[in-house]
Amino acid sequence: MFGVYKHYGRKKALRDINLDIYEGEFVFVSGPSGAGKSTLLKLLYLGEVVSQGQILVDGVNLSRIFSKRIPFLRRKFGIVFQDYKLISSKTVFDNVALVLEAMGHKRRFIQKKVNSVLRSVGLEDRYNSYPLSLSGGEQQKIAVARAIIGDPKIILADEPTGSLDAKSANIIFELLKRFHRRGGTVIVATHDMELIRRNKGRIFYLDKGFI
């Protein structure tokens, strides 16, 4: 990321951000509420576009990317949000399967893969439940399952434990660490310094849009 600025109208959310994140790193983006953490994550998957400066993701310059390639860029990322963003009218199975359906995979492959990923997050007995019947910790596990099922290179997690009790937060972090141990890159935005202290990773500190 080189000389990146992001303005929302007259609001300056990020100012002159220069940083490199390497493949296989575990990184925290920290700083108080309003510092620009979520904005920084959004710029990476083109949820927002930069106002100035350049971002390279896996060698691809996001300012030069053709719109047809954006879905392929997004597949490099698995994204986890504080409020889970599950579809409440779909079962646990369907929420996770959706990613593979969008990629055009066959039904039988999807069935096997979803089963295996739900087992890996410890929710194999919840296939047919609906998200709102589950605890927050369970819903976030499903969100992590959905994030990893497409075999992304990078997980972006925006305050992933912000709505969870300490025990559930630890379980979610263990899942992120497992993804990291297998070679994945993890970028966690959080204002929770205690969470950062308890875990290992490189820390970028944002304040009022400055790094």
Please give the residue ranges that form the binding site for ligand ADP (CB under 6 A): 8, 11, 13, 31, 33-39
- Please report how many Cα atoms fall inside a 13 Å half-sphere around the Cα of residue 148, on the Cβ side: 26
Residue 193: strand, helix, or coil: helix
Indicate the residue among 150 and 209 with the shorter CB distance to ligand ADP. 209
Whose tokens are 């630890």? That residue is 170
Count CB neighbours of 36 within 10 A: 23
Residue 6: strand, helix, or coil: strand
Give yes or no for residue 190 binding Mg ion (CB under 5 A). no
Cβ of residue 209: shortest distance to ligand ADP, in angstroms?
7
Cβ of residue 203: shortest distance to ligand ADP, in angstroms?
14
Indicate the residue among 138 and 158 with the shorter CB distance to ligand ADP. 158
Indicate the residue among 6 and 113 with the shorter CB distance to ligand ADP. 6
> Which has the closest alpha carbon to 176: 50, 27, 52?
27
> Which has the closest alpha carbon to 147: 92, 80, 100?
80
Among 30, 38, 95, 139, binds Mg ion (CB under 5 A): 38
Q: Note the residues at the interface with Mg ion (CB under 5 A).
A: 37-38
